[in-house]
Structures are given as C-alpha cells and as structure tokens.
C-alpha cells in the first residue's frame, strides 16, 4: 500500500553541549485556580486536570509550546495510508518511565504501553476499562467512533486502523486524555490488588514527575533528571527548574497579591479589573494572547420548560450580553453568536447575537404558555476561567435581567470538581459552562459538547439534539477538504443559533501576569499549559 510519510525531528534549542550541567535549583511556583477533577486525564475534559497531565504525561504527538503546529513526541515519526485509514507510528527509543516508592520500572516505553493506554479506553472488556471513573469522554467522542483496531507491529511500531477517515486525528492525539500510561505499572498495581493507584498516583514519561497532591492546596512536581529531551538537546521541552509547585488559590485577587509579593512567579486567570495595575507593576510582565474558547449558558433541554425553543429564545433576548461583557469581561471579551471562535477557521462571522429585548422575550414566553414567567435555578461557575472571569457576577446580572420578564432565578454553585460532576450528570436546569479548544481544529468542542450522541454520555450539557447538526459534524470529520468542512461547520453554527442550543457569552483574550525573572513562559492555547522550557533567571 502506498503511503505518504511524515517524519520530523523535534526543533532543537541549544545543542546538548551548550546546555547547563544541571537545571536551575529554584522552584517555579504557579498560583492556579482550582484542583483537578482527575489525576488521570483519560477521565477528564477540564484544563485543571490537563495542566497536571501536561507536565507528567506525554502523547504520541504534541502541539508546539505556545503555538498550533503538531509535532512529534513519543512517536518520532508516522506514515498515513493514501486512503487515510491506517496510521503507522514509529516510537521514540530511550524514553524512561518515572518511578515511585510503590513502583520501579524495569524497561523503557514501548508499544505495549501504547496498546494498554488505547485498549483500556477502547475495549469494554479490558481489565482496566472499569477501573476508576470508566468514562473516557474525549476518547469516546473524538477518537473511538473512527477507530477499528490498535495493532502492535513490533516493540517500537504501532498501527491505528480506522473504519473511516478522521481528519483531525493527529491533532487529537496530542491532547492530554490521549496520554500514554505504563502497562508495566498497571500490571504491578493489579497484582498488588490496588489497580486504582494507576489513576491516583500517576507514573508518566513527562519532563516532571508528580511527587505530592493535597486537594485544594498544592500540587508538587520534580524535574526528571534523565528525560529523553536532554539526549537530543531540546531545551524547549525540558524541565529547567528542579521543582514545580501549583499553589491552588481560588481567589483571583489573592493570586495577584501573591505574584506581586513573589510568593508565586506566575498567576493564572487574573481578574480583568486588575490588568491595569499589572501593566504598571515594574516587577511583572503581562502576557496576552488570543484563545480558542466558548462560554455559554446551557439550558437543560431534558427538563421543562427548556425543551421549548421559544423559552430558550426568550431567555436569550432577556439577557443583556453587552452589559455582562462590560461588567465581567471589562474589555477582554467580544460578544459572539458563532459556536466556533474567531481564532479558528470556519468561524461564522455573519451570525449576530440576539439584541437585548425584554419585550420580545415576554411575548415569546406568553406564546410558550408562560405569561407570568417561571422559577428556575441558575448555576454560577465557581472558578475564574479565561472564558468566564467572574461567574458569580455574571449570574447576578442574568438574575436581574430575567426578573424583568417574570423569571425568578435562584443562583447556586458548588466546589469545582462537584460542579463538573453534577453537570455531567445533567442535574442543572440552567448551568454556566465553557471550553477552550485542545487542538487546532473546529471539530473538537463541537463533537465533544454539542452532538446528539453527547446527550447520552453527559458531554452535551444542554441536552440539545439536532440531528442535521450532528450529521454535519460527523461528515466534516471524515473529509479532508477544508473548504467543504468549513461549509458543514457553518451550517452547524446556523442550526445552533436558530435553535438556541446554548446562549453564548463572549470570545475572550487570555492574560497571565509573570514575574520578570521568569524566562520563556508562553501562553499555551491548546490543551494543558506546559511549564517545561521555562526558567528563572535572577
């Protein structure tokens, strides 16, 4: 069979002989906003989990740090058959596994680890399929529908055989849920009668190993002294500090105070209102970048009255989005009606948000048989995200808007992990949610969050099912012509807007205050934020 080949060396930084003999002894402390929902990223769809996995685990492919180019990682090269149905990956040799008090590896990474990682998610009868959460959301929605088989060719060659083309597959394989786990570690923990330790005490191949985790307090990592990137001199993917520490600090104002006092060197997700002060602080650099994001209210269409499009549209007209953007985003967001953000191709710029029109909202409620309004519960996102800087404030503004049309909304929230868990279970009536794209293809969030199949898995928080829209996404995923794919994604966005699949807030800019002694930190737009390639220079 003819193949088209892709082989690329990772871009080298300084050559090996120019690298320092040892990494900097300083610790890099990052003030971040919340605990992860899982330590095994196979189970998660959230950046809090991806941020940890980005340091500890690696995947077959990667996205360049701070960019959108797909580059080799654990697979140093690959070939794709002409029909797009067979991907053959050559694995990198010399990749060592982390160790812990409970486990010492006896071999380096090989094809058995790739097979274990994929088969666990793919095969319902696999011994580890039901260990832990058992809900492999990303894999089930993005990879599994087109995956036919995973085959070991030899110790360093693996084939993925597809039943139908999957245009963004190489990009999807770069995302944290597709991390490669140790088959030997799983076997050892299974033999010890503690298989769940594979998910609770991660063993990976990444530049940092996880040394401790205290929920809602701190996550600690150590640099891996013999990581494979050192042998090839790739400084950009190397741990350049001995210790990496995530200090979990839910309050954005406290994160800002800590970065100013040098208690942390990087503060994630700042309050928009603090940006001016950050710009004038002589000790800080304020980094900025566009992100591919989506923030929205999910009207749970599995519950009345939100199964009625007129009710959803009434609430859309009743919500003063410009006022929310002014008060909550404070100049860092732009109103949108397109389910694909402007940072990605196929953004539908012709779609316009519904204007704020309480009288039209009242008329729609009356037409739906609710002339006096109704009562509901509105969930406010409890953490600061790039796509939603202040969920509580946004919820208060929405509550006040809806009261004007007779809709009484009680605001409710939960701890972040519990919020996500309950959202997946569909417990909300109206919930505030959001996403950032994890790889540079429009398909991901649309396939993850807005299909009819996603209603069954809990990934589709709104429970919105439009079969034409789902079919358009499925078709777009199997063709490679970007023009044709764009037409299908635009049709999806038109149907989403027409049905009020969800109420979109804004597309946001990301900001991160970083102390000036931190060098080479880059805001990463897809997946978890890596902290390798980052150093501290006094």
Q: For residue 339, what pLDDT band results from cuts at 50, 70 and 90?
A: very high
User: Worst-scoring range by mean pLDDT, 12-16, 38-42, 490-494?
Assistant: 12-16
pLDDT tops 50 at residue 15: no
Q: For residue 458, what pLDDT band results from cuts at 50, 70 and 90?
A: confident
The helix or strand, by DSSP H or E, that contains position 200, with its residue range, turns out to be: helix 197-200
Spatial distance between the Cα atoms of 243 and 271, rounded to a whole number of angstroms: 27
User: Worst-scoring range by mean pLDDT, 232-241, 400-409, 452-461?
Assistant: 452-461
Spatial distance between the Cα atoms of 220 and 213, rounded to a whole number of angstroms: 6
Question: What's the per-residue H, E or C state across 258-303?
Answer: HHHCCCCCEECCCCHHHHHHHHHCCCEEEEEEECCEEEEEEECCCC
What does CATH list as the number for 3-263+517-536? 3.90.76.10
pLDDT tops 70 at residue 345: yes
Comparing C-alpha atoms, which of 277, 218, 287, 226 is closest to residue 518?
A: 287
Q: What is the mean pLDDT of residues 230-248?
A: 96
The model's pLDDT over 151-178, given as tens digits with 9 standing for 90+, comes to 999 999 999 999 999 999 999 999 999 9
Q: For residue 409, what pLDDT band results from cuts at 50, 70 and 90?
A: very high
Q: What is the mean pLDDT of residues 24-37?
A: 88
Q: For residue 22, what pLDDT band results from cuts at 50, 70 and 90?
A: very low
The model's pLDDT over 355-407, given as tens digits with 9 standing for 90+, comes to 999 999 999 999 999 999 999 999 999 988 889 999 999 999 999 999 999 99
**CATH 3.10.105.10 placement within the chain:** 293-509
State the architecture of 293-509 in CATH terms.
Answer: Roll (3.10)
Q: How many residues does the chain have?
A: 538
Cα angle, residue 208 at apex, residues 528 and 225 outer, rounded to 5°: 150
**Residue 163: Cβ within 10 Å count:** 11
Residue 277: is the preceding peptide bond cis (ω within 30°)? no
pLDDT at 46: 87
pTM, two decimal places: 0.79
Proportion of the chain above pLDDT 70, given as a percent: 95
pLDDT at 324: 97
Residue 298: is the preceding peptide bond cis (ω within 30°)? no
Spatial distance between the Cα atoms of 178 and 168, rounded to a whole number of angstroms: 14
pLDDT tops 90 at residue 76: yes
- Do 429 and 377 form a contact (C-beta atoms < 8 A)? yes
**CATH 3.90.76.10 placement within the chain:** 3-263+517-536
Cα angle, residue 318 at apex, residues 312 and 319 outer, rounded to 5°: 95
Spatial distance between the Cα atoms of 502 and 298, rounded to a whole number of angstroms: 5
The model's pLDDT over 284-325, given as tens digits with 9 standing for 90+, comes to 999 998 789 999 999 999 999 999 999 999 999 999 999 999
Which residues pair with residue 91 across a beta bridge? 75
The model's pLDDT over 488-522, given as tens digits with 9 standing for 90+, comes to 999 999 999 999 999 999 999 889 999 999 999 99
pLDDT at 316: 98
pLDDT tops 90 at residue 4: no
Q: For residue 25, what pLDDT band results from cuts at 50, 70 and 90?
A: low
- Do 221 and 244 form a contact (C-beta atoms < 8 A)? yes
pLDDT at 291: 84
518-519 and 535-536 as β-strands: parallel, antiparallel, unpaired? antiparallel
Spatial distance between the Cα atoms of 339 and 337, rounded to a whole number of angstroms: 7
Proportion of the chain above pLDDT 90, given as a percent: 83
pLDDT tops 80 at residue 19: no
pLDDT tops 80 at residue 17: no
Spatial distance between the Cα atoms of 359 and 344, rounded to a whole number of angstroms: 35
Spatial distance between the Cα atoms of 313 and 370, rounded to a whole number of angstroms: 13
* Residue 17 φ then ψ, to 5°: -75, -10
333-335 and 375-379 as β-strands: parallel, antiparallel, unpaired? unpaired
């Amino acid at each position: 069979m003819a193949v088209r080949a892709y082989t690329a060396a990772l871009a080298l930084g300084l050559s090996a002989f120019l690298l320092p003999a040892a990494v900097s002894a300083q610790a890099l402390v990052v003030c971040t906003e919340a605990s992860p929902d899982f330590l095994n990223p196979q189970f998660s769809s959230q950046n809090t989990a991806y941020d940890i996995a980005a340091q500890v685990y690696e995947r077959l492919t990667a996205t360049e740090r701070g960019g959108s180019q797909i580059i080799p990682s654990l697979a140093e090269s690959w070939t794709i058959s002409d029909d797009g149905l067979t991907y053959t990956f050559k694995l990198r040799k010399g990749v060592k596994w982390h160790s812990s008090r409970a486990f010492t590896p006896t071999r380096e990474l090989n094809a058995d680890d790739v097979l274990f990682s994929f088969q666990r998610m793919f095969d319902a009868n696999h011994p580890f399929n039901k260990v832990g959460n058992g809900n492999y959301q990303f894999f089930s929605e993005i990879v599994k529908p087109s995956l036919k088989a995973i085959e070991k060719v030899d110790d360093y060659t693996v084939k993925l055989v597809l039943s139908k083309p999957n245009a963004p597959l190489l990009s999807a394989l770069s995302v944290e849920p597709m991390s490669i786990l140790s088959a030997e570690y799983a076997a050892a923990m299974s033999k010890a009668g503690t298989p769940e330790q594979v998910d609770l005490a991660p063993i990976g191949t990444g530049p940092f190993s996880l040394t401790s985790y205290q929920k809602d307090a701190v996550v600690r990592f150590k640099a891996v002294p013999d990581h494979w990137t050192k042998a090839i001199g790739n400084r950009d993917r190397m741990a350049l500090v001995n210790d990496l520490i995530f200090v979990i600090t839910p309050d954005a104002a406290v994160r800002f105070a800590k970065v100013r006092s040098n208690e942390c060197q990087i503060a994630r997700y700042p309050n928009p209102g603090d940006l001016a002060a950050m710009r004038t602080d002589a000790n800080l650099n304020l980094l900025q970048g566009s992100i591919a994001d989506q923030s929205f209210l999910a009207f749970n269409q599995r519950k009345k009255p939100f199964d009625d499009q007129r009710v959803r549209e009434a609430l859309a007209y009743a919500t003063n989005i410009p006022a929310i953007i002014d008060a909550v985003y404070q100049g860092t967001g732009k109103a949108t009606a397109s389910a694909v953000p402007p940072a990605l191709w196929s953004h539908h710029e012709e779609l316009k948000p519904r204007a704020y029109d309480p009288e039209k909202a009242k008329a729609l409620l009356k037409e739906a048989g609710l002339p006096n309004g109704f009562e509901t519960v509105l969930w406010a996102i409890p953490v600061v995200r790039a796509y939603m800087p202040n969920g509580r404030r946004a919820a208060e503004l929405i509550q006040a808007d809806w009261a004007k049309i007779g809709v009484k909304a009680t605001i409710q929230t939960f701890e972040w992990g519990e919020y996500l868990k309950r959202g997946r279970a569909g417990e909300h009536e109206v919930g505030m949610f959001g996403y950032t794209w994890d790889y540079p293809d429009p398909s991901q969030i649309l396939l993850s969050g807005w299909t009819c199949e996603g209603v069954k898995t809990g990934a589709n928080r709104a429970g919105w099912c439009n079969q034409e829209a789902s079919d358009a996404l499925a078709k777009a995923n199997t063709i490679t012509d970007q023009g044709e794919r764009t037409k299908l994604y635009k049709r999806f966005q038109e149907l989403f807007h027409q049905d009020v699949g969800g109420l979109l807030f804004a597309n946001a800019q990301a900001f991160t205050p970083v102390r000036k002694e931190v060098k080479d930190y880059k805001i990463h737009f897809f997946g978890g934020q890596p902290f390798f390639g980052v150093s501290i220079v006094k």
